[in-house]
Amino acid sequence: MIRKRGRRDSDETAEITASDPTTPEARDGSSFDELMTTAAPEPEQVIVEKPSRRVAGWGRVFRGNKTLWIVAGVAVLSLVAGLLVQRFIISPAEAASNTEPPEPGLVTAPVDFGPLSNDVVIRADVGYADSVEVKLDTSAISGPAVVTGRVPKVGDELAALSIVTEVAGRPVIVLPGELPAYRNLRIGVAGPDVLQLKQALVSVGIDPGDVASDAFDQTLADAIGRLYDAVGYPSPAGEATATEAYRAAQDSVTAAQQGIASAEAALSQAGQGPSGAQAKELDVAVNRAQRELDAARADPARQGEVADLEDAVAVAVAQRDDAYGGKDLSGEQGAVNAAYEQLNRAQEGLELARQGVQPFLPSSEVLYLASLPRRVDDVKITRGAILEGVAMTVSGANIRLTGAAADADAKLLKVGDTASFRLPDDTEVPAKIASVEQPKGEKRWTVTFEPGKLTPEQWATVQGSNVRVSIGVGATDGDVLSVPLAALTAGSGGEARVQVVDGDPRDGEKAETHLVTVTTGLAAGGSVEVTPVEGALEKGDLVVIGE
C-alpha cells in the first residue's frame, strides 16, 4: 500500500495502483512511462505510512513524562519481587511448626581419667601481718618530749637494735618482746619486765648475767652499758641529783674513817698504859671481836654464835683493861665503836648512791615489738614536734593473706594445709594455712595464709588486693576414673552402678546399654571417683546421665 501526498496542505491521500504493462491501457499504445507521466504531472513524494493520530499522541505523552514512567516501572518490578520473596521465604516459627520433633536420645557424658581433688575456695586480702599502732612512753622524760632526731619513713624495716626515732636527744631502741615498757629499770628492781629485758639482750648477743633471775643486778647494768655502745649513744647514768648523792656518800665514808682514827687515838691516850704498838693491838682485838658480834646479831643465820661472841668481846676488853692497869676506858671505847658503826652506815649509803649512777634503762628509750622485723606502714610524727599519742603504725615484715570462711568450710581446714592463689599474670603461687580462728561473737572464721616467696615485682602487683585462694582438702592418689554424680544409680542391693552406652545414644530407648557396678571414692566438683567391680569401664566410655 503506497500513499502519495500532493502539494496541498490537506492530509488527504490517494491510492494509486501501479498498472502492469500488459494491462489494456498499456496495450492501447501508451508506454508505461507515458502513463506514469500522464498520471503524475507534478512531482510527488512517496513516504511510508505513519501511525495514526492516537498512536502519535501516546508517544508524545511518554516522551514528556519519562521519569514518571520509570518510577512506575520500578514500582511494578518491586511488587512482583516482593510477591516472589514472600512465596519462598519461611519464618523460623513456621519452619519449626512444620518440622516434626526428632526422636529423643540419651544424655551422656564421657568417663574421665585423671587426678581428682576437692577444694575449698575463699577470698583473701593480701597485706603485711599483725598491724599495730605504736605509742612511745614519755613519762621518764623530765622536759617536753620533742622529736629531735631520726623520723622513719613508710616502708622502713624495724629490726632488733633499730632506732625508731630520737626524743629529747635520746634514742628509742627496738628490742624483741611483747610486754610494753612501763617503768625505768635499774639496779634493785625485779619483775617480768626485767626478765624480758635479759632475754632481749641475749637475742642480740649481749650477756645480761643470770637469765633465770628477774632481778636487776650489777651484771645487767653493765650489759645496759654495752647495749648503748652497740647503738652508738652514751648510756644513761643517773640524774644530777643521783650524782650529787653519790659524791655525798663518798664524803660520808671518808668522814667516818677519820672519826675512827680520832676515837682510837683518844682511847690510846686515855689508857697511857701499854706501848703504842701493844695498845693498838689490844684495841684492834677488841674492835674485831665487837664487829664480829655486831655482824652475828644482824645475821639471823648466826644467832647461835652471839653468846660466844659476847664472851669474846668481854675477854678482849678485860685483856685490854688489864694492860691499862684496870682503868675505866668505856667512854673512849664507846666512841671508837660508834665511829665504826658510822663507817658501816656510810659505806651502805655509798653503795646505794653508786647504784643510782650505774647504767639503767629508761622506759622512754626502749620499744618492745613482737615478731621482728616490722615494716613501717604509717608515720604520724615530725621532727621538731612534741610527741603525743600514736607515733606510727607498723606491721609484720612478712606477707599474709587474710580471708573469712563459713563454718562448714572452716571445719575442713587445719593449720599447715596447702593452698594456692594466682597473680594478675596468672602465675600460681603456693601458700600454707597459718591459722584458723573464730573471733569471739563472730559467725565466720578468720583464715590466714603464709604465701610462698614472692619477688618485689610480684608483691607490688598484689599488695592490698583481694585474691581467690584455693585450699585442697581432699585429693586422689594419682589418676583415677571419674564420672558425673548424675551418672550413678542404685541397684536393688544399694550398690552403685553406671549405665554404659554400647551403641549410638541418639537412638534413645533403642540404644544398647549395659550396667557396670562400681565403688565410689572422692567426690569433687560435681564428679566422683569410681572403680569398676562387675564389668569393664574405661576412659572415654559414655555413661548415661539423663534421657
Q: Are residues 246 and 352 in the same domain?
A: yes
Residue 10 lies in a domain: yes
Residue 147 lies in a domain: no
- Please say which residue of 431, 455, 475 terminates a domain: 475
Q: Are residues 257 and 315 in the same domain?
A: yes
Give pLDDT tens digits along the chain (547 positions): 334 444 444 444 334 334 344 444 444 444 434 434 444 444 444 444 444 555 455 556 556 666 766 777 777 777 777 666 555 555 555 555 555 555 567 899 999 999 888 889 999 999 887 788 899 988 888 889 999 988 999 889 899 999 999 999 999 999 999 999 999 998 889 999 999 999 999 999 999 999 999 999 989 999 999 999 999 999 886 555 566 766 777 778 788 888 888 888 877 767 656 666 777 788 889 999 998 998 888 888 888 888 999 999 999 888 877 776 666 667 777 888 888 888 888 887 776 666 666 788 999 999 999 888 888 988 999 999 999 889 999 988 778 899 999 998 898 899 999 999 999 999 999 999 999 999 988 999 999 999 998 887 898 888 889 999 999 888 888 899 999 999 999 988 889 999 999 888 887 778 889 999 999 998 887 899 999 999 999 999 999 998 7
Residue 108 lies in a domain: no
Q: Are residues 351 and 417 in the same domain?
A: no
pTM over 0.75: no
3-state secondary structure 35-49: HHHHHCCCCCEEECC
Q: What is the CATH number of the domain that holds 538?
A: 2.40.420
- Please say which residue of 441, 475, 509 terminates a domain: 475
Q: Comparing C-alpha atoms, which of 405, 398, 414, 485 is closest to residue 439?
A: 405
With a CB cutoff of 8 Å and minimum separation 6, the contacts of 182 are 137, 193, 363
Q: Is 17 helix (H, G, I), strand (E, B) or coil?
A: coil
- The Cα 335–Cα 344 span in angstroms is 14
| Helix 240-271 and helix 276-298, axial crossing angle in degrees, nearest 10 | 130
Q: Are residues 470 and 483 in the same domain?
A: no
Q: Are residues 416 and 485 in the same domain?
A: no
Cell of 241: 641529783
Q: Which domain holds residue 402?
A: 398-475
Residue 377 lies in a domain: no
